[in-house]
Structure 1
Amino acid sequence: MMERPLDLDAVQAFVRIAELGSFTRAAEAMRTTQAAVSLKLKRLEDRLGLRLVERTPRYVQLSAQGAAFLGYARELLEAHERALAVGAQARQRLTIGISDHVAGPELPALIARMNAQDPQLLIEIRIGSSGDLLQGFDRRELDAVIVRLHAGRNDAQVLAEERMGWFASPGWQPRPGEPVPLATLAEPCGVRALAAQHLDAAGVPWTEVFVGGGVAAVAAAVMAGLGVAALAPRMLPFGAVDVGPRLGLPALPRLPVLLHSRVGPGRPRDALDALAAAFRQAVRG
């Protein structure tokens, strides 16, 4: 039958007393009371059947047994720290790609929801275009991606379908006789291609006046009055207006938010499910 193991807190108290030469300073280092440190030491001495520390009114000194035990005590604490480090290194990681056309202003709250689901999970999130993220997913650089368009694939879970519109700033007015000025994301962008296809099919002339490196930049250009952008309403600051009906622009279809994942059952899957549920709620409003 295995004997009762040593109390690591008591061993640490002994090492602190030995290093600092004082019960008071040991208590301060351990952020506890002198009485608690004394109790820990007594518990260790009782467990070992040895007197480790000689106490006098003026100083604290290790006994011969205490001096012999000190090296072993330090080795025990160092081994404990190494064991904890192994646990930290083994921390599970979840790498998710989220399309810039999907990651809206709710993203901080969605990340907080994932963290609440599993605070010990290491979460890595990359923002990019749907096409680039899908390529990264296929190269197994990403565990899961949340993207905007099907891109000719059928291996995704539909989280929600989101309304799209032609948005401009409240005071923006088109110039008579000129093509519709568009603010878009840089190619390749599925939403940009979709918007161009619908305008061309409807015979509506258009011109690109702003190309942004992200949806936030496109939204800023819209609110600055540069022109019109095809976006989901939640991606724009409050006050942007859908000018599609007023300008006679073609209606855009509802676009899906899609999850591609290879995450199996377990803690990462639970966190991913929490994120997917949060996206459903955010998209559906």
Structure 2
Amino acid sequence: MIMLDLDAVRAFVLVADLHSFTRAADALDTTQSAVSLKLKRLEAHLGKHLIERTPRLVRLTGDGDTFLVAARDLLNAHDRALGALAVERRRLSLGLSEHVTGAGLPALLAKLNAHDPGLLIELHMGPSAALRTQFDERQLDAAIVRHEPDDALRDDAQLLFGEALGWLAAPDWLPRPGEPLPLALLAPPCNVRAVALKALDDAGIEWREVFIGGGMVAVGAAVAAGLAISPLARRVAPRGLIDVGARLGLPALPESRVTLYTRIRDPRSMETLRLVANSLAVQ
């Protein structure tokens, strides 16, 4: 009877979810070569080719797609068996900046549940500054936030990736001649708001707020409705918006840095947190 290596199965699922050996290795806190070796041994045990590897693409074969469903079931059964003996259910209180995730949030949550069904996730969304304060006050186990260029990185911040902002608008939106630039922004305090307004002021461009939102969903809806333009990252913007910065001669916005703060030490929860970070990086 074939005995499957659960570590190899977990590595396979992570490669399938993240479409990358490198990101899967990071999530498992190991090396890319170690993940590749686990996958080769798993394929040898099964006698099936599960993953197609090219320099730019990692995708599942037909057998890989079929095995992925069973692999998730196997890992879930393993986690349920361990959970039956646990004294308490694990909990992760995570803060996530509204400028970091958007339309991809449902898919991210589904991926987390499939990867770690025994984890109770308590998700807090909000401005980066507020989430950092909550983390410092030990209200959060971890926080993924944005740092703007003038916002110095703290020693405990782990840099995940950089991301540019754009001046996004609805495809049919046009400015009114002779009027200040209409903006849709988050309510202060918001670092993205501050950076964007400073850039406009430095460039001598008149602006006015026509919409202030209490969250990114509201701001994105206002822009999609054609009320105004907004400084947004592509990942949080509604589909279909376009960058009108170059056409309107607006100043380029500096690249933000997305960072992680964490005090998690539990290996299983840390693996899940790395999955969150890596999933955001490939959105």
TM-score range, shorter chain: 0.5 to 0.7
1:109 paired residue among 107, 110, 120: 107
Partner in structure 2 of residue 163 of structure 1: 164
> Quick one: which amino acid aligns to residue 180 of structure 1?
L
1:265: Cα distance to partner? 4.2
Partner in structure 2 of residue 131 of structure 1: 129
Partner in structure 1 of residue 38 of structure 2: none
> Quick one: which amino acid aligns to residue 222 of structure 1?
V
1:238: Cα distance to partner? 2.2
Partner in structure 1 of residue 263 of structure 2: 262
Partner in structure 1 of residue 141 of structure 2: 143
Q: Deviations over 1:211-245 (max 9, x none)?
A: 00111111110111111100012222222111111
Does residue 211 of structure 2 align to residue 210 of structure 1? yes
Partner in structure 1 of residue 97 of structure 2: 99
Q: Deviations over 1:93-152 (max 9, x none)?
A: 111000111121111111222222221111111111111111100000100001111643
1:88: Cα distance to partner? 6.4
Deviates most, 232-241 or 217-226 = 232-241
CA distance in 1, matches of 2:103, 2:244: 22
Partner in structure 2 of residue 23 of structure 1: none
- Shift of the 152–85 alpha-carbon distance from structure 1 to 2, 3 Å rule, reads closer
Q: Which runs of no fewer than 5 residues in structure 2 stay unpaired?
A: 1-81
CA distance in 2, matches of 1:153, 1:254: 14
CA contact (8 A) 1:98 1:128 kept: yes
CA contact (8 A) 2:101 2:235 kept: no
Partner in structure 1 of residue 120 of structure 2: 122
CA distance in 2, matches of 1:232, 1:118: 28
- TM-score, with length taken from structure 2: 0.67
> Quick one: which amino acid aligns to residue 152 of structure 1?
A
Structural mapping, 1:229-248, within 5 Å: 229-248=230-249
Does residue 224 of structure 2 align to residue 223 of structure 1? yes
> Quick one: which amino acid aligns to residue 243 of structure 2?
D
After superposition, the CA RMSD in angstroms is: 1.8
CA contact (8 A) 1:117 1:270 kept: no
- Structure whose CA Rg is larger: 1
Q: Which runs of no fewer than 5 residues in structure 1 stay unpaired?
A: 1-83
Partner in structure 2 of residue 153 of structure 1: 153
> Quick one: which amino acid aligns to residue 153 of structure 1?
L
Q: Deviations over 1:49-97 (max 9, x none)?
A: xxxxxxxxxxxxxxxxxxxxxxxxxxxxxxxxxxx99956611111100
1:258: Cα distance to partner? 1.1
1:153: Cα distance to partner? 3.3
